[in-house]
Amino acid sequence: MSNLTFNNPIPLDATIKRETGERAYPIWLVVNPKHPAVRHIIWTPVLAEIQDKVYRETHTRIDTSDLYIRNAVRDSGTVPNTLKWWGTDVAQEIELFRGIVLEHKPKIIISFGAFPFEFLRRVYEIKPEKGPKFWSTSNLGDEFGKSIENFDINRTNRIPLLRRVISSGKFREDQDLFIENYFHYVGAKIAEKIIENKNSFNIWIE
């Protein structure tokens, strides 16, 4: 893989803020405040793969300086872990975020793990509602495939990524290969959609 990554690393203090970046930016990240490290552990290598493919095919890179990153809820203590435990605090957060996405209409919202993905489903009023435990690695993988297959630049595309990448292999080499392949696969798929619709994304480094 090329050493090309991105032009502005996510600042370390981003982990303690509710949101960073600009809402006008067309690509958003939504994370579980219990797991802020996904911005570095998952997103950084995925973005490196995106930038690599974009550069190879367009000879430019994505300017990520205004990338919008938001915690799904303000207080990590309100994150539910069952289908029924979605209290009024979470419902209020859903209504708040629904208003924000309807106003700004991002092209892509990338979530990390079970709770942020189900949170987004409820923001967009997708039924039936599921508990976070429903969203296994396999189910999230299926939803990722559907999000790429049904990508439509004229609406907001919700793309789920895993919160952590773990191989079932017995050996360290197997796990390392699985992780590398996952980052390459999802990064390349997302990059393909960005490249296909590059004229709809005002995110390019001049």
Is it the case that residue 133 has pLDDT exceeding 90?
Answer: no
Is it the case that residue 6 has pLDDT exceeding 60?
Answer: no
| Residue 147 counted as domain residue | yes
How sure is the predictor about 81, in pLDDT bands with cuts at 50, 70 and 90?
low
How sure is the predictor about 84, in pLDDT bands with cuts at 50, 70 and 90?
low
- Domain of 188: which CATH number? 3.40.470
CA 132, 125, 188, 138 dihedral sign is: positive
**CA atoms of 122 and 135, how far apart (whole Å):** 14
* Number of separate domains in the chain: 1
Burial of 100 (0-12, 13-18, 19+ CB in 10 A): middle
Task: Report the pLDDT value the prediction gives residue 178, as an integer from 0 to 100.
Answer: 60
Other Cβ atoms closer than 10 A to 3: 7
Task: Report the pLDDT value the prediction gives residue 57, as an integer from 0 to 100.
Answer: 97
| Residue 6 counted as domain residue | no
Is it the case that residue 1 has pLDDT exceeding 70?
Answer: no
Task: For Cα atoms 61, 25, 11, give the angle at the middle one, nearest 5 degrees.
Answer: 75
By residue range, what is the domain housing residue 89?
12-200
Task: Report the pLDDT value the prediction gives residue 71, as an integer from 0 to 100.
Answer: 95
Task: Report the pLDDT value the prediction gives residue 79, as an integer from 0 to 100.
Answer: 77
Mean pLDDT in residue range 106-120:
96
| Residue 206 counted as domain residue | no
Q: Tokens for 2, please give them.
A: 């090329």
How sure is the predictor about 87, in pLDDT bands with cuts at 50, 70 and 90?
confident
| Residue 205 counted as domain residue | no
| Residue 165 counted as domain residue | yes
User: pLDDT tens-digit profile of 150-199?
Assistant: 999 999 999 999 988 765 444 444 455 667 799 999 999 999 999 999 99
Task: Report the pLDDT value the prediction gives residue 4, as an integer from 0 to 100.
Answer: 42
| Residue 155 counted as domain residue | yes
Say what percent of the chain tops pLDDT 70.
83
| Residue 194 counted as domain residue | yes
Mean pLDDT in residue range 36-62:
95
Pick the more confident residue, 155 or 8: 155
| Residue 5 counted as domain residue | no
**Per-residue DSSP letter, 62:** B
Mean pLDDT in residue range 114-142:
91
Pairing of strands 27-31, 19-20: unpaired
**What ranges in 71-136 are assigned the alpha helix state H?**
88-104, 114-123
